[in-house]
């Protein structure tokens, strides 16, 4: 997802290391999911919410479902840009749309959607997204963020 209505999605930059590649010298498919997880974590951090501090407040985020489409391979030493945009903001979940781009030639490598649930750290039962985090996502999300009252 490129800019929506002039708003660029959050982007995390990373580099492909040897450990990310398979025997063919390309990024192993599951590692794109790791890159996207890191971008979601860095998005929270940029908004002022460290996952370690949230866990101490009995709040965790867990992936409920994931969908990925692969377009082109990344290789050793490629610099990647991984976007994380909140498409839906529900009472106890977020739907992220994410893309992985190779920086040098602006090639879209992988894209996906992730439904991420907010749960209690002690029971793993659903809980409402904390109001301050909800507000931060709405304020930073731009025109593409939709807020829903229920899940």
Q: Which residues, including other chains, have CB under 8 Å from residue 42's CB and lie 6 or more apart? A: 10, 12, 84
Give the whole-angstrom CA distance, residue 78 versus residue 67: 23
Query: Is 74 among the domain residues?
Result: yes
Within a domain: 108: yes
In the residue annotation, 22 being an active-site residue is answered as yes
Among 22, 77, 122, 151, the one annotated catalytic: 22
Question: pTM, whole model, 2 decimals?
Answer: 0.86
Q: State yes or no: pLDDT of 1 exceeds 80.
A: no
pLDDT, tens only, 92-110 = 999 999 999 999 999 999 9
Query: Residues 15-51: pLDDT tens digits?
Result: 999 999 998 989 999 999 999 999 999 999 999 999 9
The answer to the question of residue 4 being in a domain is no
Domain interval for residue 37? 10-141
Residue 3 within a domain:
no
Mean pLDDT, range 105-123, rounded to an integer: 97
Residue 113: inside a domain: yes
In total, how many domains does the chain have?
1
């Amino acid at each position: 997802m490129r800019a929506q209505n002039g708003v660029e999605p959050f982007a995390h930059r990373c580099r492909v290391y040897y450990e990310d590649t398979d025997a063919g010298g390309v990024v192993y498919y599951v590692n794109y999911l790791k890159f996207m997880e890191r971008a979601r974590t860095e998005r929270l951090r940029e908004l002022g919410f460290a996952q370690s501090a949230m866990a101490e407040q009995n709040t965790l985020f867990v992936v409920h479902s994931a969908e990925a489409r692969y377009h082109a391979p990344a290789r050793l030493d490629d610099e990647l840009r991984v976007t994380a945009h909140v498409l839906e903001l529900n009472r106890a979940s977020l739907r992220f749309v994410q893309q992985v781009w190779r920086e040098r030639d602006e090639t879209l490598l992988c894209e996906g959607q992730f439904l991420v649930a907010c749960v209690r750290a002690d029971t793993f039962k659903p809980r409402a997204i904390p109001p301050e985090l909800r507000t931060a996502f709405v304020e930073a999300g731009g025109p593409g963020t939709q807020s829903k009252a229920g899940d």
